[in-house]
Amino acid sequence: MAGLSAAKALIPLNVTFVRILDEKVRDDCLKELSNDKTFLSDVTINAFGVLIKNNYPDIEGFQDTILSKNRQFVRAALNSFQIHHDGKLHWKVSRIDDEGNISVYDSLLIRGLSEELDIQLALLYRSETEDLKVTVQELQQQRGISDCGVFAIVVSIALANGLEPSILRWNQGNMRRHLRNFIISEKLSPLPTISERLCSRIKVNKKLEYTIELWCICRLPEFAFKNMVNCQVCTQWFHKPCVGLQDITQKVSSFICKSCNSKKSLVKIL
């Protein structure tokens, strides 16, 4: 822990340094960041979430990534961002701007998009009336497969500083060293970018757009739950668990949604 001792030496003796991260969390983060072949776990990702919130208190978003496992993400405010685990051993970042435009930043887009990511995007940014339009922004593509979490953190720090990651180029070989220093000092800053002369050597994904269709009263994609049922009146589709049909294998010969049932009752009263 020579680096930690050096960091402490920089602090004036009359200043009390209050640690943000638990010592075990800090040690786990440093261990993961010290091995270039180690994938970052949610421990390190969420530790940087804590540091981002502490360093940039006006920033919205960055919910604990563990919430996605039980679909507990709450709806995000405008101008916020989130790191996602896409269910395929891969970390990505999403952002919603002041106008409600949704962007995804993926440092290894060759792995493709995932249904799990789409569900998480819907949980965060869903609309009651419209489908979600998503733009996968240009981003520097990583070498190898183990630095997706590193890139996700670097992108998040850039966003927290008001920078657009799609136009930034970094030295991937230095990223983990910078992040280790951030864990030690608990102070964040944008990573230095490389010279324009070297940018031509870096691979960048092409920008693409796609739409996530939202259904049901939950406003999630069709694949969020198994089996759907169609209302005979309004013809809208609903996930069976969302409308009280817990036995998803049960065949339903006739179904009318709650909204249409209410309208029928109102007509009878009139």
- CA–CA separation, 132 vs 121, rounded Å? 8
pLDDT-based confidence at 9, cuts 50/70/90?
very low
Lowest pLDDT segment from 21-35, 36-50, 243-257:
243-257
Region(s) of the chain under CATH 3.30.40.10: 225-269
Tell me, what's the pLDDT at 13? 53
pLDDT-based confidence at 248, cuts 50/70/90?
low
Tell me, what's the pLDDT at 212? 97
Give the model confidence (pLDDT) of 124-135 as tens digits. 999 999 999 999
Note whether 224 and 247 are within 8 A (CB).
Answer: no
**Percentage of residues in the chain having pLDDT higher than 70:** 89
pLDDT-based confidence at 258, cuts 50/70/90?
confident
Tell me, what's the pLDDT at 18? 79
Give the CATH architecture of domain 225-269.
2-Layer Sandwich (3.30)
pLDDT-based confidence at 12, cuts 50/70/90?
low
Region(s) of the chain under CATH 3.40.395.10: 2-212
Task: Supply the pTM of this predicted model.
Answer: 0.87
pLDDT-based confidence at 263, cuts 50/70/90?
low
Average the pLDDT over 147-161 and give the result.
98
Average the pLDDT over 102-112 and give the result.
94
Tell me, what's the pLDDT at 266? 39
> Running DSSP on this structure, what letter comes out for residue 206?
P
Note whether 223 and 212 are within 8 A (CB).
Answer: no
Strand partners, 254: none
Alpha helices in the chain (DSSP H): 2-9, 23-34, 42-55, 115-125, 148-160, 172-185, 196-199, 258-269
* pLDDT top residue among 87 and 141: 141
pLDDT-based confidence at 17, cuts 50/70/90?
low
Say if residue 179's pLDDT is above 50: yes
Tell me, what's the pLDDT at 270? 34
CATH of 2-212, one of 3.40.50.620, 1.10.30.50, 3.40.395.10, 2.20.25.10: 3.40.395.10
DSSP string, 18-61: --SS-HHHHHHHHHHHH-TTPPP-HHHHHHHHHHHHHH-TT-EE
Average pLDDT of the residues of the chain: 89
Nearest of 210, 203, 73, 221 to residue 151 by alpha carbon: 203
